[in-house]
Copies of this chain bind each other. A is one copy, B any other.
Amino acid sequence: MSSLPGNAVVAQSGGPTAVINSSACGVIEEALRHRDAITGLFGANNGILGIVQEDLFDLAAESSDAVALLRSTPSSAIGSCRYKLGDLSKDQEKYERLLAVFAAHNIRYFFYVGGNDSMDTADKVNKLAGQKKYDLRVIGIAKTIDNDLVGTDHCPGYGSVAKYLATSVMEAGRDTEAMYTFDPVTITEAMGRNTGWIAAATGLAKRGPDEAPNLIYVPEIPFSEQRFLDDVREVHRRLGRCFVVVSEGIKNAQGEYVSAGAGTDSFGHRQLGGVADYLRQLVTRETGLKARYNKLDTCQRNGIHFASKTDSDEAYRCGQEAVGQALAGATGRMVNLKRVSRQPYRCEPGLVALAEVANGVRCLPREYMDTAGTGISEAMREYAGPLLLGEVPIRVGADGLPVFTRFHRRPIPRKLPPFVGK
- A interface, CB within 8 angstroms of B: 12, 15-16, 46, 49, 73-77, 79-83, 163, 166-168, 170-172, 174-179, 181-182, 186, 204-205, 207, 261-267, 269, 271, 274, 277-278, 281-282, 285, 292-299, 301-306, 308, 310, 385, 388-391, 396-397, 399-402, 404
Contact = CB atoms under 8 A, between A and B. Distances in A.
Contacts of A391: 396, 400
A171 B74 contact: yes
SS class of chain A's interface: helix, strand, loop or mixed? Answer: mixed
A296 B298 contact: no
Number of copies: 2
Nearest to A20: B178
A220 B373 CA distance: 47
A310 B298 CA distance: 28
5 contacts: A82-B182, A163-B400, A171-B402, A267-B285, A389-B400
A269 B176 CA distance: 25
Contacts of A49: 181
B174 A74 contact: yes
Contacts of A271: 266, 281
Nearest to A168: B299
A242 to B, nearest CB: 14
A46 B80 CA distance: 48
Contact of A186 (B16, B168, B295, B298): B298
Nearest to A391: B396
A215 B125 CA distance: 41
